[in-house]
Amino acid sequence: MANPKHYDVIRRPIITEKATLASENGQIVFEVAKDATKPEIKQALEALFDVKVKAVNTLIRKGKTKRFRGISGRQNDFKKAIVTLEDGQSIDITSGV
């Protein structure tokens, strides 16, 4: 059963070239809440998508400094979770939850 808190833990899927290559190995990349732990991420994914999660690896991507029209700005830090699914499991991230 999907708890509303699960939607606060999992923010959005990250769709990049590197994430697409990882999906061939049964891995999916999500942006998650900065205070989310690995067990919380695993529990949220299993409840929302009805899949079995083998492993969760997390990292914090530091925000980059960018310039726009001469004005310096900074992007926010965010936490990524690289989720490995059990064999035979898959998530269609293109469909809405």
60-70 residue pLDDT tens: 999 999 999 99
At position 73, the amino acid (one-letter code) is G
4/41: higher pLDDT: 41
39/89: higher pLDDT: 39
Calpha distance 4→16 (Å, rounded): 27
Q: How many helices (H) and strands (E) does the chain have?
A: 3, 6
Calpha distance 37→45 (Å, rounded): 12
Q: Kindly list the structural domains of the chain, giving each domain's residue range(s) and its CATH number in brackets, ordered by start.
A: 4-85 (3.30.70.330)
- pLDDT reported for residue 94: 65
pLDDT in tens, 20-61: 898 888 899 999 999 999 999 999 999 988 889 999 999 999
- pLDDT reported for residue 1: 58
Number of C-beta neighbours around residue 49 at 10 A: 20
